[in-house]
Amino acid sequence: MGLPALKMKEIFTYGDYLKWDDNERWELIDGIAYNMSPAPSRSHQELVGELYTQINIFLKGKDCKAYIAPFDVRLPEANESDDKILTVVQPDISVICDKSKLDDRGCKGAPDWIIEIISPHTAAKDMKVKLALYEKHKVKEYWIVHPTDKFILVYRLNDNNQYSRPDVYVKEDVIECGVLKGLTVDLKELFQYE
């Protein structure tokens, strides 16, 4: 898991985040800074690229937009100003269907769909911290891609705005996206990238 930054302050805001060195990538979760280095592996980037390509082709002419990291997703608790926001993440892929959430800095509010490709460095954060965070902020669908073991966990919000047990998809499966009706992802094709 990305280790919290060792800085003099205990809680950071998006205002602090904007002042940090552009050569380093960080995420803030409830005011705690997580360093996102080292850089993702080649297989991670191939998976991100292939998923993004499939999603982006599907979205041509539609209202939703897909973005790949680095792309700031600010998750305010209420109506606080940007500089007071305590959570900003950079999901591998974010799909946003409400254009009012988009601005020049990225997205303010929960995307409809988030995909994270885990690595040894990010696995605990993606599977615990971000899972709870995305559920809290009502991200409708959250996919956790396991590139080494070639499976995907798919979490979907239920009627109580909580994630049900994940659906588990393996290399031979085809996933039907719940947020983007008609979009399917063939895992045999996806996991050919190594």
Distance CA 147, CA 43 (A): 8
Q: What is the mean pLDDT of residues 20-30?
A: 86
On average, the pLDDT of the chain sits at 91
DSSP-assigned letter for residue 157:
B
Q: What is the pLDDT of residue 2?
A: 46
For residue 22, is pLDDT > 80?
no
For residue 1, is pLDDT > 60?
no
Please name the CATH architecture into which domain 41-190 falls. Alpha-Beta Complex (3.90)
For residue 4, is pLDDT > 50?
no
- Which pLDDT tens digit goes with each residue over 149-160? 999 999 999 999
Domain ranges, ordered by start, for the chain? 41-190
Lowest mean pLDDT among 14-23, 56-65, 95-104, 180-189: 14-23
In percent, the amount of the chain with pLDDT more than 70 equals: 94
- Say if residues 185 and 54 touch (Cβ distance below 8 Å): yes
C-beta contacts of 15-21 below 8 A and 24+ residues apart: 15/82, 15/83, 15/84, 17/88, 18/83
SS3 category, 32: strand
Range from 25-39, 86-100, 180-194 that averages highest in pLDDT: 86-100
Confidence class for position 3, pLDDT limits 50, 70, 90: very low
Lowest mean pLDDT among 8-12, 29-33, 69-73, 110-114: 8-12
For residue 36, is pLDDT > 90?
no
- For 161, left (φ over 0), alpha (ψ -120 to 50), or beta? left
Confidence class for position 38, pLDDT limits 50, 70, 90: confident
